[in-house]
Amino acid sequence: MMKKLNKVVLAYSGGLDTSIIIPWLKENYGCEVIAVAGNVGQGKELDGLEEKAIKTGASKCYIEDLTQEFVEDLIFPTVKAGAVYEGKYLLGTSFARPVIAKRLVEIAKKEGADAICHGATGKGNDQVRFELTIKALAPDLDIIAPWRIWDIKSRDEEIDYANAHGIPVPVTKERPYSMDANIWHLSHEGGDLEDPWNEPKDDLLLICKTPEAAPDVPTYIEIDFEQGTPAAINGEKLGAVELVEKLNAYGAANGIGVADMVENRLVGMKSRGVYETPGGTILYAAHAALESITLDRQTMHYKEGVASKFAELVYDGFWYSPLREALSAFVDVTQANVTGTVRMKLYKGNCVAAGIKSPYSLYNEEYATFGEDAVYDQKDSAGFINLLGLPLKVHALMKQAHPDAK
């Protein structure tokens, strides 16, 4: 037995990892285990969870509804930032971990626990996301990560351990995918996906239709934004959770939001994942379209760099960091005039803006027209180009005078 602990709060999902961790903690630490499941919109996964936790040895099980907090406080600020990791990943698992870890800390303090335990593997990103949040919010709490210390080495061995302890698990050796679901996305990793030469099997997708199976006619929807935050669909004001759910339904039906990518994990290796993010894909595209007419050139270009750094911080688990908070403050300033409506065309895996309007639009047809206008003197561009190109001209003259120069 390892060092005696009185009480441990476990991040509990009822999946393979956390199902066997309850008896493992009791066997190895002689402690009381309090299971905490964060509801971030994973749906049926929560059914029967409390009963299962108690049956497998937990003294108590909290099931906390964090969905609204997740959408309003983490998802929408990330969308406003335009943050996408490595061009594809819409950060579905990444920003769900901090909101869950925050509640783990709150309950650990309330219960007087000695430690928080999570089931993230020693090869993944989630261990970092959980632990950085705990360190930021409760630096004195111990952290237990079984995957880094127990003798179990594979998912097959986990299944064998569960069977030996009479614990039912939702993963079988026939469907060995590691999946993470929430209101924003569903991820798939492992199994045959570990070879990037393998195309995902036809039955892999559980939310989205394939583009081939999507309707043969496009769907049009209108999304209203208020200062960068989505507020309505087709003129109907919606709460944050309902809005995302509605966009998920539109996207899934039209085969939108499937990303198959090999990404660079924080811990050093590359991994392959397939992500289903139907509503999120629509939302990112619509928000970017609205910014195209409401942000000036300098702000937009600078914000692109901020978006990349923001995505990296979220991916790496630094939600509760001074830099992320500072970047969010910058983003909020940029969103002051990102108000308007975007008409989106959804068709067989594609979503494109089919119309954009804003009372704060910087698009001025009188200046942009190729027809005759009375506001733009084309002669002005000659002086502008002469000054812009002056450094190039001086450099070229120097090279003419000194052919050996670089």
Q: 154: helix, coil or strand? A: coil
| 94 labelled ligand-binding | yes
Q: Tell me how far apart the alpha carbons of residues 90 and 94 are, in angstroms, rounded to a whole number.
A: 9
Q: Label the pairing between strands 236-237 and 219-226.
A: unpaired
382 labeled part of a ligand binding site: no
Contact present, 46 and 23 (Cβ < 8 Å): no
Distances 45 to 41, 133, 264 between C-alpha atoms, Å: 9, 24, 28
Give DSSP secondary structure letters for 260-296. Answer: EEEEE-TTS-EEEEEEE-HHHHHHHHHHHHHHHHHS-
3-state secondary structure of 371: coil
Q: Is 89 annotated as a binding residue?
A: yes
- Residue 178 marked as a ligand binder: yes
Q: In the chain, what are the helix, strand and coil shares in percent, each to the nearest 5?
A: 45, 20, 35
The pLDDT value given to residue 302: 98
Q: Which residues of the chain have pLDDT under 50?
A: none
pLDDT value for 173: 57
CB burial string 298-325: b at 16+ within 10 A, e below: eeeeebeebbbebbebbbbbbbbeeebe
Given this model, what pLDDT does residue 174 score? 61
* pLDDT tens profile 364-398: 887 776 777 778 788 999 999 999 999 999 999 99
CATH topology identical between 7-176 and 185-295+337-357: no
What is the pLDDT at residue 303?
A: 98
The topology (CATH level 3) of 185-295+337-357 is Argininosuccinate synthetase, chain A, domain 2 (3.90.1260)
Region class of 282: left (phi > 0), else alpha (psi between -120 and 50), else beta: alpha
For residue 329, what pLDDT is reported?
98
Amino acid 39: pLDDT = 96
SS3 assignment, position 80 = helix
Catalytic sites, residue numbers:
17, 97, 126, 178
What distance in Å separates the CA atoms of residue 209 and residue 206, rounded to the nearest whole number? 8
Q: Is 119 annotated as a binding residue?
A: yes
Position 170 scores a pLDDT of 61
Q: What ranges do the domains of the chain cover?
A: 7-176, 185-295+337-357
> Does 12 belong to an annotated binding site?
yes
CATH code 3.40.47.10 for 7-176: no
Give the Cβ contact number of residue 265 at 10 Å.
Answer: 15
